[in-house]
Each structure stands twice: as C-alpha cells, then as structure tokens.
Amino acid sequence: EPVILDLEDNVVDETLAKKRTVAVDKVRGFMKYKRQTDKYRNPARRVKDWKEINARLNHEDLKVQAARCMDCGVPFCQSDTGCPIGNIIPKWNDLVFKEQWKDALDRLLMTNNFPEFTGRVCPAPCEGACVLGINELPVSIKSIECAIIDKAFEEGWMIPNPPRVRTGKRVAVIGSGPCGLAAADQLNKAGHYVTVYDRNDRFGGLLMYGIPNMKLDKGIVQRRIDLMAAEGINFVPNAHVGKTIDAKILKEHNDAILLATGATWPRDLRIPNRNLDGIHFAMEFLQKNTKSLLDSELADGTYLSAKGRSVIVIGGGDTGNDCIATSLRHGAKSIVNFELLPQPPNSRAPDNPWPQFPRVFKVDYGHAEVVTVHGNDPREYQILSKEFVSDGNGRVKGINTIRVEWTKNEKGGWAMKELPGTEKYFEADLVLLAMGFLGPETEVIKQLDVRQTPQSNIETPKGMYSTSVAGVFAAGDCRRGQSLIVWGINEGRQSAREVDLFLMGGTRLPVTGGIEKRPVEQLENTGLAWMRDDKGMP
C-alpha cells in the first residue's frame, strides 16, 4: 500500500533550503577559504595497525578546496617544475567544484595512468609550484586527485577496456614498477601484445614491496594489476630476467623489449665493521616486512623484526621515514634517524625560490608517530657514522659518530668538515641503511650488451628511450637515475610512445599533457585540408 504523506511534510524549511543553496565562492575562493588536506589518523591508534594512515576529505570539503584553485593563466602546477606528466590540474579542479566527477576522471586519465598511486605517495611537486603558494598555502591538488580516482572505483566507472584491434606485435616489459606498468598500459592501449616480467611473486615493484602498507594499501595496487590483466596484459611473476630467464631468448621472441628495472642497487656505508650482523639495507627490511604481512599477517616470522631493539636508520627521505614507521609498529625500544645534512629551514631559503619544490623542514608521518610514542623527534642532523661497534659475538651493538659542519667554499660548493670534540656513541642492535641507490642491477644489461653511462645508468640519446641495441628500450630510474613515482609514470608513457613508433612507423599515443602529437604534413593533408582553395570551403 502506498505511503500517504501529509502536505505539510513536503513543505521545505526556508532556512534549511537557503543554507543548502549557499554557493561556494569560486571567484574569491583562494582568498576566502583555508587549505585543508587529507588528515592523518590519530598516531597513537594508527601505530597499532598496518592500515592506511590517511582519513579522506568528504565531497563538500573537496568542493571548497577545488574552489581555491585560481585557474591561472599560466598554471605552473603543470609546468616543468610542477607535474612531470602534465596533469591538466586546473581543469579537473574546476570539474570537481562543479561536481562533474565523471568528467574530472576522464580529464585525469588523459595524463595519468595511476592516480590512485600518485594521489597517495607522490610528494606533489605540483603543489610546490602552485601559484597560490607564492603567498598562501597551495591548493590541495593531491587530495583532490586521489578523491577523483577513489570515487571512480566506488562508482564502478573503472572497468576493463581492452583494445578492439590487435597489431600482432609483441613487447616484453621487464619490471613492474610505476614506469613498467605505465608503459605496459599505454602499449596495450595501442593494440600490442604486452607481457610484463617481474622477479618478485607480486607485481608493482616499489609500489608493492618498497612502500609500506600503511602508506599505500597493497589491495589498491593489486586492484590495478587485476584491471590491467583483464584488459589483456600478461603478467609473469618470479621471472628474474638475466638470471632465471635469458634476456637474449626473450629478445628473439618479442618485437621489442623495454627495460624498466629501476635503480635498485643500494648505496652502501663502507666503514669499519660493516660485516657485522644486524646491519641491513632499507629495502631488504621493507620488502620482507610487506611480504610477510601479505602472506601471513607477520605470523610466519620471515621478516626482520625490530621488536625490542634499538634501531638506527641512516639516511632521511621517504625510505628512511618508512623504516622508522615500520620499526615502531614492530615495537622497537628506541629509534634514531641519522641525517648527514643540516636541518632544512622552516620556510624557503633564498636559493630555493618558488616554483621549485620547497626544501623545508617537515614532520612526516613516521616522525610524528615516534614523537607520540617515544616523546622525541628521532632525527639527528649533521652527524657522520665513523664505525660500527661489535658486541664481541659478530653482531652490531652501536655506532661511533661525529658531528659535521657544512660551509660554502670559494667556488660556491658545499664542503663538509668534522668537528673535533663532538664524538658520540649511539646504541644500536639493528641498523638500517636508507641512503638511496646508485643505479640499476646489471644482469639483464650485460646479457643484452646494452651501453651504460659513467653513472651506470642505461645510455639513451637525449630525450629518447632507445638503447645502443636495436629493438631494446629503457625508461624510468634505470635510465634517468633514482627519481619520483610521477617521473616513472611519465617515462613509461613516453617510452611506450617511442616503442609504438618503432613498431608501427607512427603512433597515436600522446606526449606529456595528454596531447596527440602529429606532423604538420599530416595535419595539412587531413584536418586542415578544408582550408585549401582546391578543396572548397565547407
């Protein structure tokens, strides 16, 4: 039986109606509204689990944040100092403000294959280059980007879309990090048969095993891998090309090979007693932890546990911070983080002007967690490790250090000198080396006889991705050196375009910014033909 409503129940309260229709001011939004970003969960609670640390903004708050975007005439957020992939940020900010989420998604996917990754773990150089950031806090670009793609998956908009036509060409992509995945996605869109090889049991490279679960949930990574597989990309796990698979045989069975192996050779600390037990590279520590977490919720005990240990992390940056947060969740007794350089300033220094990425002091999630649990910031600046100290049984028990001073020489370069009298011993029975990477591992490079640069990166012509071996291409950190995820995605997209051009003699894959680049002659023969006298006017 239908429900009968009283007429008075359908009368809209005027005050409530007026409140609902109060417009968010887009014209003056940058002046009227304060910056708001995705908040971190309470540190006292989040250290007890491995769930993502962020709590997301609701749609009403996101609309207000989108209103802060000024739609600049020259949007530096998508310039060379901003977003490397040329995300058309003002456009999808405006579409979110207008609540046109599906259109915002379409515009975002024109330039970014994986916004669910960049929206979580990219350091957001776009925000550092935001014009509003000259004299105010920048627009919350990263939060808006993440919200767009999260809503897309929630609404069921992200469905498999395999290419309608296949070219018959086969491409092997070695490595499944951000670069390899982006390249595979683009090459598959072009209609090629793409196979991705990875030496690990799961795909995603550093997205899967280099970044802890509380920073990037692995279900989100696997969701994207599953979507790509449903679109026709073949994934081969436990395939260490150069060791378990011969790269030369792979080359014989494919029309092109793309090397996207990353820069995984870690920088070591060659000081006395380096051979002691208890000293590990950061990536070994992080990968084993994530694998054990995914395999058994850490029940199998195959990870390097920091429980009850005095941990020293040598090296700052994101990797060092991830080691701090992981050690804290294990139940470390104490955590100290060594940084060789001075503490950054609280605001931009004169040699770090806008729109450069701001090199300023920040308290990241791991640092804040240590402050909450242990009561102190774990970082020690301008400190140099001199010697690992043995406990007499082959295991490390501490580090002897000395403070250093940085001064500029007459040529303007920085020089470091030790400060006598500042020697100090730090207790440590677990030391994690997070000092960056030197370049790619060389097994597959040597098998294919690919030329390398003096810095050990794979050599390619400037602005190109072809190597010294015909049909073999390289992109990402193995080509340009250690860099950001967003640079990896850009390299993957642009290398795919060059591979497609090599295979087909032409390409419709876009350049940076989602733009299809075509020769002028082609435009004259097609799109501009109507302008010619012999064609007549429409």
pLDDT tens-digit readout, 141-200: 999 999 999 999 999 999 999 999 999 999 999 999 999 999 999 999 999 999 999 999
Mean pLDDT score, 364-370: 97
pLDDT bucket at 14, cuts 50 / 70 / 90? low
Percent of the chain at pLDDT exceeding 90:
89
What is the C-alpha separation between 105 and 99, in angstroms, rounded?
Answer: 11
What is the C-alpha separation between 523 and 518, in angstroms, rounded?
Answer: 7
Find the length of the chain.
538
Among the ranges given (260-274, 349-363, 504-518), the one the predictor scored with the smallest mean pLDDT? 504-518
CB contact at 8 A, 139 and 35: yes
What is the C-alpha separation between 293 and 301, in angstroms, rounded?
Answer: 10
> Which DSSP letter does residue 267 get?
P
What is the C-alpha separation between 252 and 236, in angstroms, rounded?
Answer: 17
The predicted-structure confidence for 247-303, as pLDDT tens digits, reads as follows 999 999 999 999 999 999 999 999 999 999 999 999 999 999 999 999 999 999 999
Q: Model-level pTM? A: 0.91
Q: How many Cβ atoms sit within 10 Å of the Cβ of residue 436?
A: 15
Of the candidates 93, 87, 50, 86, the residue with the CA atom closest to the CA atom of residue 71: 93
| Start-to-end C-alpha separation, the chain | 61
Mean pLDDT score, 367-376: 97
Mean pLDDT score, 438-466: 96
Of the candidates 58, 63, 68, 57, the residue with the CA atom closest to the CA atom of residue 34: 68
Q: State residue 516's pLDDT score.
A: 83
Q: State residue 521's pLDDT score.
A: 61
- How many alpha carbons fall within 13 Å on the CB side of residue 388? 27
CA angle 382, 387, 391 (to 5 degrees): 130
pLDDT bucket at 413, cuts 50 / 70 / 90? confident
Nearby residues of 405 by Cβ (< 8 Å), 6 or more positions away:
382, 416, 417, 419
Q: State residue 443's pLDDT score.
A: 95
CB contact at 8 A, 81 and 41: no
Helices marked H in 253-382 — which ranges?
A: 282-296, 317-330, 365-374
The predicted-structure confidence for 105-122, as pLDDT tens digits, reads as follows 999 999 999 999 999 999
pLDDT bucket at 536, cuts 50 / 70 / 90? very low
User: Is the per-residue pLDDT at 381 higher than 60?
Assistant: yes
The predicted-structure confidence for 51-107, as pLDDT tens digits, reads as follows 999 999 999 999 999 999 999 999 999 988 999 999 999 999 999 999 999 999 999
Q: State residue 410's pLDDT score.
A: 81
